[in-house]
Amino acid sequence: MAFDRAEMLRQVRDDPRFDVIVVGAGINGLGTFWDVSLQGLRCLIVEREDLCGATSAAPSRMIHGGLKYLETGEFRLVSESTLERNRLLRNASHLVRPLPMVVPARSWFGGTIPAILRFFGARPRFKERGVAVILAGLKLYDFLGRHERILPRSGFLGLRRLRRQLRGIARAFVAGCTYHDAWITAPERLGLELAMDGCAAGGGSVALNHCELVGREGDALLVRDTADPGGGPLRVTGTVVVNAAGAWIDHANRTMGEETAFIGGTKGSHILLDHADLHARLGGKMIYFESADARICLVFPYLDKVLLGSTDIPLAEPDEAVCTDAEIDYLFAALHGIFPDLAVGRPDIVYTYSGVRPLVRSGADDPGDISRDHSMPALEPAGDRGFPVLSLVGGKWTTFRAFAQQTTDEVLRRLGRDRRATTEARPIGGGEGFSPTPEHLARQVAELGSTYGTDPQHARHLVALYGARAAAVAAFCAEGPDRPVAGLTGYSERELTFLATREMVVHLEDLILRRTPMAILGQLDAANIRAVCRVVAGALGWDTARAEAELQRLRSTLLRRHRVVIGEGRQEFEHRRATS
C-alpha cells in the first residue's frame, strides 16, 4: 500500500479524535503504535523528525539477549531479551540474521571473585573476565535463552583454533568462547514497516513524521507539521497518551505541562570502517571484547563494511550527541588491543553515528551498571488534563515487541477493551512469507526476473533490502522506463521513485539516510546525491530551489551528525575536533 503522508494529514484534519496518541516514533513508540492498531483502536503517532530517525537509528545493530546484563543480575531481562531475539529471527528474517560471536580471554580465572560478588548484589569493577567466568556466563545465557531456541549453543575455543579463526589476534589471549546472537541489517526500515503495518490494520490509525508536539490546550495536544512552516498547529485528542519520546521524554512531558525527571541517558557512539583486511579477519563473526577499562566493545562485519563500537558516556542533552575524537581514539585503542598489528586509522572511517540511550535516571557511578530494563510510569489525569500519560522509559531494541505488548495491555485495561490480536508470532513488513535460506532467496530472485523482468543484480538488491516486499517494488519498477542510478550499485530510478512516493519521504535525507543504507555504507559522492535528488524532486514535485535546499540540508546533517564530508570521490570522514 502507498504510505501517503498527505492523505494521513487529511484524515487527521477530518477527524482529530483518537483512542491513543503516541508521541515519538522510535522503536518503542512504533512497536506500541503497531500493537495498539492491531487491536482495532485508532492510534496517532507523531514524530518531530523522521520515523526511527534518532536514537533508534543509532544502535549497535545487534538483536541480542544482553550477555553483560548477567553481571548485574538482570536475569528476567536476559530471558525476555533472548526470547524476543528468537522471535525477531522468525518474524523479521528479511532484516534480522544470526551472528556468530567470539569472546576472547586473556586469562583462565580472571574476574572470578568480582563475578561472584556481583551475583550477590555487590558492584566491584572488573579488571578482566577470564575463560571460567565467560563460560559460566554463557552456560547461564544458553539456559535463559532456551525458549523458542533456534541458535546454536555456546562453546569453547582453544588457543590454536582461536588464532586460526582470528588471524593476528594479540598473543596475550589464552583462549576464547563462542556463542550466537543476531544482527539487524536496517533498523530504520524495520521501524518504518511497523508503522506501515499499523496503518494497514484497518482501524484508521495514522503515522506522521516531521510532526512536532508543540503544546497542550486542555485535553487537546497541539502538533505542528514541520514540513509546512506556514501552517498552524493541529489540535488532536486521545483518551490515552503514550510518551515514547526516548531521550526526550522529559522534554515532551514539559511540553504537555508536566515536570518529570525520568531519563538519565548515556551516549553510545559507533564508527563504520572501510577496511578489507579487518573484514576478512573477522570472517563473518563478531568479536565481543573488553577494552583496557574492562568496558565491553564489539566489532563485526556490517555488510561490506566493519562496525566498531561502542562508548557509554552520560549526556544531558540528547540533541548534542555526536561521535567525538576522544571516542574514536578510545575505540581504536580497544581494537588495537585485539589486533595489535592491524593498520587502521581515521582514513578508514566512512561514517560515524551516536545516540543517547533513554535509560532510567540513576545514581550509578558506572554507566554500564544502569539497567537496560524498561518501565512505564504513569501521570494520571490532573487539573485540566483529562487523559493519562504513560511514559516509556528505558528498554532496548531487542525487547521492543515485549515492551509494546505490555504498554498495549495497559492501554486496553484503561479503555476497558480486550486484546484481539497477539504479536508473538506475527511477521513484520517484508518478513511475511519470507525465508532467509539460500534456496528461497534464489527462488525469489528468479521469480522477480520471470514475472517482472528484473535483472538478477537488481533482484538480489531488492530482496536483500525489502524481503517479501521486493515484489511490490519490482512491479512498480516494471510499470515504466527504468534505469540504474549513476554511481550507486543496485539502485534504479523507479525504485527511488517508489520510496519517495510510497514511504513517506519528506526530505532527501529521509531516503538517503533511513530508507536505504547508502550513507552508512559510504556510497555517497557529489554526483550521485545530485542524481538521487533529481529523481526525488521529480517524484515529489520539488522546484530547483527546493532541490538545492534539500541537498544543502543533507550535506549539513551528514557533517553535523555523522562527520561525513561529500567530495567528488566517495564520502570522507571529517578530521575536526568534535566537542564532547
C-alpha cell at 519: 550513507
Residues 6+ apart with CB under 8 A from 74: 66, 371, 372, 373
Packing angle, helices 493-502 and 526-540, rounded to 10:
50
Angle formed at CA 45 by CA 44 and CA 48, multiple of 5 degrees? 135
Which stretches does DSSP call E strand in 274-335? 286-290, 296-302, 305-309, 313-314
C-alpha cell at 262: 525520568
- Residue 360 has what pLDDT? 82
Longest dimension (CA), the chain: 70
Query: Side-chain half-sphere of 296: how many Cα atoms within 13 Å?
Result: 16
- Residue 367 has what pLDDT? 58
Which structural domains are found in the chain, ordered by start? 5-55+188-264+372-415 (3.50.50.60), 63-183+270-353 (3.30.9.10), 433-573 (1.10.8.870)
Query: Side-chain half-sphere of 396: how many Cα atoms within 13 Å?
Result: 23
Mean pLDDT per block of 10 residues along the chain (580 residues) reads 84 97 98 98 98 94 91 88 97 98 94 70 74 93 92 96 97 97 97 98 96 97 93 95 97 97 92 98 96 91 96 89 96 97 97 92 59 87 97 94 98 98 98 94 96 96 97 97 94 98 97 98 96 98 98 97 92 69
What phi, psi does 460 have (nearest 5°)? -65, -40
- 151-160 contacts, C-beta under 8 A, 24 or more apart: 151/86, 151/89, 151/98, 151/180, 151/181, 151/182, 152/179, 152/180, 153/179, 154/178, 154/179, 155/179, 156/131, 157/102
Residues 6+ apart with CB under 8 A from 495: 458, 462, 473, 476, 477, 482
Name which of 312, 368, 398, 338 is nearest 102 in CA terms.
338
Separation CA 161–CA 109 (nearest Å): 20
Q: Which residue has the cell 563485526?
A: 300
Name which of 57, 68, 62, 51 is nearest 89 in CA terms.
62
First-last CA distance in the chain = 43
What Cα–Cα distance (Å) separates residue 444 from each residue in 161, 186, 433, 457? 37, 20, 11, 12
- Residue 399 has what pLDDT? 96
Estimate to the nearest angstrom the gap between the alpha carbon of 570 and the chain centroid. 25
